[in-house]
């Protein structure tokens, strides 16, 4: 009897462990394709802030169960700071904290709602980044938005959700780095 109980219990332990998702989402946005914007190196200071109102990046909603909130594995503003520093350097700018031209990147929203349905899930995500640029005479403020939607069968896989959010971040950072209005403003 004891052996039968062990035989039945042992596989259940592995099933319980296999169905657990990681406690956080790991984003790794890549530097998008950036066009050369200036042939003369222009010095800019760069600051990236996280001004999101929410601590989590994903909300898992399933009818009849408690909503699960998932945070990022690393601060998103640090990840974006690396992307923007590399991107602006590729565009022809030199990052210098004492430069008179400045760019402040504010991550305002990085949110994913994953709704579990009977035969699948739907993930809706949105990223909002505000850019505040200053040159010697003026200030330019712009907001950039990107939305995504992902549907799939059964339960969402964290790797798939992370990949989709990374694509959205890449799209938005590319839009910012290649924005003609922003680049023209920085070159004044």
Q: What is the tens place of the pLDDT at every residue in 21-30?
A: 668 999 999 9
* Residue 60's CATH number: 3.30.160.150
Q: Is residue 46 part of a domain?
A: yes
pLDDT tens-place string over residues 151-187: 988 888 899 999 999 999 999 999 999 999 999 999 9
CA dist., res. 187 & res. 172, Å (int): 21
Question: Cα–Cα–Cα angle for 89, 137, 85, nearest 5°?
Answer: 15
Give the count of domains, the chain: 1
Q: Check pLDDT > 60 for residue 9.
A: no
Rounded Cα gap, residues 166 and 158, in angstroms: 12
Question: Does residue 11 fall inside a structural domain?
Answer: no
Tell me which residue range forms the domain holding 124. 41-186
pTM as predicted: 0.85
């Amino acid at each position: 009897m004891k052996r039968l109980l062990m035989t039945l219990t042992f596989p259940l332990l592995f099933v319980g462990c296999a169905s657990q998702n990681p406690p956080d989402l790991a984003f790794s946005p890549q530097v998008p394709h950036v066009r050369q914007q200036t042939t003369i190196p222009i010095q800019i200071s760069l600051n990236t802030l996280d001004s999101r109102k929410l601590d989590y990046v994903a909300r898992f909603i399933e009818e009849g169960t408690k909503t699960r909130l998932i945070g990022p594995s690393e601060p998103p503003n640090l990840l974006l700071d690396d992307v923007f520093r590399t991107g602006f350097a590729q565009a022809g700018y030199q990052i210098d904290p004492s430069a008179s031209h400045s760019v402040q990147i504010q991550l305002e929203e990085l949110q994913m709602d994953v709704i579990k349905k009977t035969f699948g899930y739907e993930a809706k995500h949105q990223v909002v980044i505000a850019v505040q640029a200053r040159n010697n005479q003026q200030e330019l403020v712009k907001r950039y938005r990107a939305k995504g939607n992902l549907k799939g069968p059964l339960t969402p896989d964290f790797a798939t959700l992370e990949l989709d959010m990374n694509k959205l971040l890449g799209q938005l950072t590319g839009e910012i780095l290649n924005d003609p209005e922003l680049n023209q403003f920085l070159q004044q």
